[in-house]
Amino acid sequence: MTTRKSWAPYLFLTPAVTLFALFLALPIGYTVYLSLRRTKVSGLGLGKGSKREIFVGLDNYAAAIGDGDLWTGWLRVLGYGVLVLVVMLGLALVFALMLDAARVRLARFSRIAIFLPFAVPGVAASLMWGFLYLPSVSPISELFGVAPLSQSAVVYSMANVAVWGGTGFNMLVLYTNLGAVPQDLYQAARIDGASELQIALRVKIPILAPAIILVTVFSIIATIQVFTEPTALRPLTNTISSTWSPLMKIYRDAFVTGDLYSAAATAAVIAGISLVLSFGFLRVVKNRAFGET
């Protein structure tokens, strides 16, 4: 009995630990290893053995952090992220509350209609919007005041694609959470004379706080990793550079200019920043939302 007790937990842990080691720890470790190396060429670099891999310490990190492109990319993504977060989560919350209101017509249809864009793959959505944005092929170009892919408008056009695609999912998370709230709470509020609007503001939103925080953290991580939309729109316009977002820079370094080592270092830097941002946000709001001290 006692011997069994000692190995049983490890046995049960094995699948999880193996998967974690193989598919998470190992790739991360390899990325960090690569980020400390680089190839060194001698002479023309054409003969045998003229190229070798050397250890360079933190050189790649210094280059990544010192690269202005990365930080202008971050600034762009920051502006884009604030825009997307506010509009997308705001809309998701409003839609969820509206669908959850006592009297609402066509609830099923509206729910599906709002959720459906989430089912469209990001590349398809970006290309579809891209075609709508291009003046000469767009059936609705007159609706936009300015050219949507011009330098001043391109961030908004891209945010629009993300909001269009992401609102439905966040709405559904919030809406499902609302469904789990016991109806007694609302009845009590109604007996106290609260209107539907007051119930929404004073009862539902506070109850939803943990779910709102959850979708915010997910959305922060998703916007930091913005890649699909700008990459799919890039061939259509002159306004999106190959380093528009930090992730695009990694892609460019690794797969266009063939410098895996710099890409690995930049990836590590971005992972660090994402961690700080998401956990930072959690720390700031945790106490208030969960009543923890």
Partner 1 sequence: MHMNRLAAVAAAVTLVAGCSSGGAQQSAAPSSSAAQNAQNAQKVALTYWNWVPGMDKVVAVWNTAHPDIQVTSSTQAGGDDSATKFLTAAKAGNPPDLVQAEYQALPSFVAAEAVADIKTAADPVKAQFSEGIWGLVTLGTDAVYGIPQDSGPMLLYYREDLFKKYGIAVPKTWQEYADAARAVHAKDSKVYLGTFSSKDPGSFAGLAQQAGGQWWSISGEAWKVAINDEPSKKLADYWGGLVKEGVIDNMPYFTPEWNKALNDGKLLTWPSAIWAPGPLSTNAPKAKGKWAIAQLPQWNAGENFSGFWGGSAVSVSAGSKNKEAAAKFATWLNSDPEALALLVKEGSVYPAATKGADLLSEPPAYFSNIPDFWKQAAGFGAGARGFTFGPNVNVAYNAFKDAFDKAALNKTSFSGALQSVQDATVADMTKSGFKLAQ
Interface residues with partner 1 (CB under 8 A) are 23, 27, 39-46, 48, 50-51, 121-123, 127, 130-131, 134-137, 151, 227-228, 231-232, 234-243, 251-252, 254-258, 260
What does the buried/exposed string (b/e) look like for 170-190 if buried means 16 or more CB atoms within 10 Å of the residue's CB? bbbbbbebbeeeeeeebeebe
> Is residue 263 within 8 Å of 243, Cβ to Cβ?
no
Which residue lies nearer to partner 1 by CB, 92 or 254?
Answer: 254
Which residue lies nearer to partner 1 by CB, 102 or 140?
Answer: 140
d(CA 248, CA 124): 18
Minimum CB separation from partner 1 for residue 18, in Å? 14
Minimum CB separation from partner 1 for residue 74, in Å? 17
Helical packing angle, 260-290 and 68-100, nearest 10°: 40
Helical packing angle, 68-100 and 154-179, nearest 10°: 40
String of DSSP letters for 148-217? TTSTTTHHHHHHHHHHHHHHHHHHHHHHHHHHTS-HHHHHHHHHTT--HHHIIIIIIHHHHHHHHHHHHH
Torsion on CA atoms 240, 245, 249, 255, rounded to nearest 10: -70
Single out the residue of 166, 181, 151, 59 nearest to residue 118, CA to CA: 166
Which residue lies nearer to partner 1 by CB, 34 or 220?
Answer: 34
Which residue lies nearer to partner 1 by CB, 96 or 165?
Answer: 165
Which residue lies nearer to partner 1 by CB, 26 or 185?
Answer: 26
Minimum CB separation from partner 1 for residue 225, in Å? 9
Which residue lies nearer to partner 1 by CB, 43 or 182?
Answer: 43
Minimum CB separation from partner 1 for residue 171, in Å? 23
Which residue lies nearer to partner 1 by CB, 211 or 267?
Answer: 267
In this structure, which amino acid lies at residue 244? W
Those residues with Cβ within 8 angstroms of residue 236's Cβ, 6 or more apart along the chain or in another chain? 130, 133, 134, 149
Minimum CB separation from partner 1 for residue 257, in Å? 5
> Is residue 277 within 8 Å of 225, Cβ to Cβ?
no
Which residue lies nearer to partner 1 by CB, 73 or 200?
Answer: 73
Minimum CB separation from partner 1 for residue 149, in Å? 10
Minimum CB separation from partner 1 for residue 52, in Å? 10
> Is residue 248 within 8 Å of 73, Cβ to Cβ?
yes
Minimum CB separation from partner 1 for residue 228, in Å? 5
